[in-house]
Amino acid sequence: MVIHELTLAQCRDVLGSSSHGRLGCARADQPYVVPFFFQYDSTGDCLYSFSAIGQKIDWMRDNPMVCVEVDEVIDQFNWTSVVAFGRYEEMGDSPQDEGARRRAHSFFQHRSAWWLPALGKATGREEPHASVVYRIALHKLTGRRAIQAK
């Protein structure tokens, strides 16, 4: 097996062809990683997502520095992995956020039923229904690709 570093362009290509990854955040020295859906915006070099309010949103509000891991695994000898470091930015109702909200919404329309994950609610919890549109402004990308040597 040979492992290669990906260029920034290759990392962006992986993000652009993916819609699912793992989001890592931290609070009080405790990491937290969850699966999430996103849309990559190559123009803004950011990821847009949508979520119900819960632990993930609470933690990112408290510490907006996050990371995202995306991978494509064929088998143990053939895989690609990208880690993106960035900053959580919530899209509010303010006029300043209107353009970003419209852009996020246009990205979400490319995926049918994009809003369903944010409507999910843990069984037995009595939390109010509320959701958040947010983006992760990317500031560092790293990636690797493994291919089986012949």
Extended beta strands in the chain, E state: 2-5, 20-27, 30-37, 39-41, 46-52, 65-75, 78-91, 131-147
Burial-class residue 28 by CB neighbours within 10 Å (0-12, 13-18, 19+): exposed
DSSP type of residue 6:
P
Does pLDDT of 86 surpass 50?
yes
Structural domain spans, the chain: 2-119+129-147
pLDDT in tens, 15-65: 999 989 999 999 999 999 999 989 899 988 999 988 888 999 999 999 999
Q: Checking phi first, is residue 74 left (phi over 0); if not, alpha (psi -120 to 50) or beta?
A: alpha
Residues 12 and 26: their CA atoms lie apart, in Å, by 24
67-96 mean pLDDT: 91
Distances (CA, A) of 18 to 74, 120, 150: 15, 22, 28
Residue-level pLDDT at 123:
47
Residue-level pLDDT at 61:
96
What's the count of helices (H) and strands (E) in the chain, helices before strands?
4, 8
DSSP type of residue 122:
-
CATH architecture of the domain formed by 2-119+129-147: Roll (2.30)
Residue-level pLDDT at 107:
62
Residue-level pLDDT at 141:
98
**pTM for this prediction:** 0.81
SS3 assignment, position 8: helix
- Confirm if 1 and 146 have CB atoms less than 8 A apart: yes
Q: Nearest to residue 70, comparing CAs of 150, 149, 147, 145?
A: 145
